[in-house]
Structure 1
Amino acid sequence: MNHRVPPHRHRRSQLLYAATGVMLVGTEAGRWIVPPERAVWIPAGMQHEVNSLVHVSTRSIYVEQGVDAALPADCRVLGISPLLRQLLLETADLPLPYRKGSRTDLVFSLIVEEIRRAPVLPLDIPFPADARLAARCRAYLAQPSPHETIDDWCADLAWSRRTFTRRFRAETGISFAEWRRQAAIFAALPRIAAGESITTIAFDLGYESASAFATMFRRVTGVAPSRYLAPG
């Protein structure tokens, strides 16, 4: 069953770990998808919402600002090492509050170090700062259309093709074609998690076959759609 936590923010930074299931995290800057046994890092004060898909079980820790200047300043999905996974599970039984130098303190200090070292996974889709362009991106992400072209977007925004491509890359860091592929993956993943047919999803997103969609998916993510939501 899906569960949505409406937009909110925390005084401290948050590491939200998906032990099972899949989460979708949204901010004004973009969207992140969190497969099982990965985590999302959300900096202190950042407004965000969380949509949990398919029997999600989570662990969450909060880190005070100033604990480590090397901790990320942006939202990102992190790969979780076996050590960090065990440390996160261990926190459920740790006594709070705790003394400096105690075992609990050492566990949390090691967690912070592991967060610093965790690999960043390419599981985000950025939104531009321009309000009209961002609104267009959100609308497309909510209901991807396989028939829309770059010229349709240009006409809606009353921009030339050259202006559109230049501004889109400047504000998102990727090309429109790359963004569209990411959007297709984001649209597909909740449906894959719900057990829908890859063939049906591929056709709905405008691909000629399941194999064509799988090829694109593998090129972007490195794995086949059927394997992407497997525990890491």
Structure 2
Amino acid sequence: MKNMSLDEVDQVDRAVLPIGTDYPPGHVLDWHQHRRAQFLYGATGVMVVDTADGSWTVPPERAVLIPAATRHHVRMLGVSTRSLYIEPEAVPWWPDSCTVVDVPPLLRELLLTAVEFDADYALSGREGHITALLLHEIAEQSPLPFHVAIPTSAGLAAVCRGYLAAPDAGVTNAHWATETRMSERAFSRRFRSETGDSPAVWRARARLLAAVPLLRTASVSEVGSRLGYSSPAAFTAAFTRTFGRPPSRFAAHHRVPRGS
């Protein structure tokens, strides 16, 4: 199914509903939730998925698993999606929070095939076997570290969301402590208790996540400089250490065929 609203087919008696959607550049899906779990694959572009608990940046040709009934917001940057909407009881192993995963060649080809099915596709034969295999392949994927937690406290959450919107290497713990009207020590202690990271570690990861969409249109050198790194080498080292692959792998000119 292509460019169809889930609401039009949600009640069809199928555990897995594949839908492909093409979005205009910069499209935003405002806060919403689905009754079903969602496997959201970006065949092109970058997605930024926000929930009350965190922010997930989904690089090109990756996907995010969104639990059923999770309120979320999605910013699409040149994205064409292939989604699976899945009845929760069909995937008892589904994660409790959003999770970014790789999409290897077999899973990608299964997705591209499945979105051509009708909503009431045959459960026996080829179509039923493909949707069953999709769930097996998704269950095999390991989480990728493209996310940051959002604190539960409103004040801390506000400074974090502000930073995600405009990362600034010059921001310090003292700045944030002043904004939240706490001592620096109390701020740092509370921040760590709510996110699991120190504020400095959190900001470093947030800056690197901000690099992923920027790399669509700018060079590694330009992105590193924009984010406050002293040199392209310093930026590349930090990015690779955090995400396990260099930023050049996400540059617009570098689209290596999957499986290579």
So what's the TM-score if we normalise by structure 2? 0.81
Using the TM superposition, give the Cα deviation of residue 37 of structure 1 relative to its aligned residue in structure 2, in angstroms. 1.6
- Are residues 1:10 and 2:44 paired? no
Please tell me whether the aligned partners of residues 64 and 100 of structure 2 are also in contact (alpha carbons under 8 angstroms).
yes
- Are residues 1:62 and 2:53 paired? no
Please tell me whether the aligned partners of residues 94 and 104 of structure 1 are also in contact (alpha carbons under 8 angstroms).
yes
Q: Residue in 2 aligned with 1:53?
A: 77
Q: How many residues align?
A: 230
Using the TM superposition, give the Cα deviation of residue 146 of structure 1 relative to its aligned residue in structure 2, in angstroms. 2.0
Q: Residue in 2 aligned with 1:167?
A: 190
Higher relative contact order (CA 8 A, sep 6+): 1
- Are residues 1:200 and 2:200 paired? no
AA at the equivalent of 1:221: F
RMSD between superposed Cα atoms in Å: 1.9
Please tell me whether the aligned partners of residues 146 and 204 of structure 1 are also in contact (alpha carbons under 8 angstroms).
no
Q: Per-residue CA shift, 1:125-179, capped at 9, x if unaligned?
A: 1101111100010111111222111111122223233322222122112222221
AA at the equivalent of 1:146: A
Using the TM superposition, give the Cα deviation of residue 20 of structure 1 relative to its aligned residue in structure 2, in angstroms. 1.7
Q: Per-residue CA shift, 1:91-121, capped at 9, x if unaligned?
A: 0233431454443222212211222211111
SS at match of 1:66: helix
Cα distance change, pair 148–57 in 1 and its aligned pair in 2 (3 A): same
Please tell me whether the aligned partners of residues 172 and 200 of structure 2 are also in contact (alpha carbons under 8 angstroms).
no
| Structure with greater helix percent | 1
Q: Identical aligned pairs, as a percentage?
A: 43
Using the TM superposition, give the Cα deviation of residue 76 of structure 1 relative to its aligned residue in structure 2, in angstroms. 0.9
Cα distance change, pair 174–81 in 1 and its aligned pair in 2 (3 A): same
Distance in 2 of aligned mates of 1:202 and 1:99: 50
Using the TM superposition, give the Cα deviation of residue 228 of structure 1 relative to its aligned residue in structure 2, in angstroms. 3.1
Q: Residue in 1 aligned with 2:62?
A: 38
SS at match of 2:228: coil
Distance in 1 of aligned mates of 2:88 and 2:73: 21
AA at the equivalent of 1:3: H
AA at the equivalent of 1:5: L
SS at match of 1:14: strand
Distance in 1 of aligned mates of 2:139 and 2:213: 29
For structure 1, the 5+ residue unaligned runs are none
Distance in 2 of aligned mates of 1:114 and 1:224: 26
2:179 counterpart (132, 153, 156): 156
Q: Residue in 1 aligned with 2:49?
A: 25
For structure 2, the 5+ residue unaligned runs are 1-24
Distance in 2 of aligned mates of 1:189 and 1:127: 19
Distance in 2 of aligned mates of 1:37 and 1:206: 27
- Are residues 1:130 and 2:140 paired? no
Distance in 2 of aligned mates of 1:132 and 1:180: 16
Distance in 1 of aligned mates of 2:234 and 2:122: 56
Using the TM superposition, give the Cα deviation of residue 38 of structure 1 relative to its aligned residue in structure 2, in angstroms. 1.0
Q: Residue in 2 aligned with 1:84?
A: 107
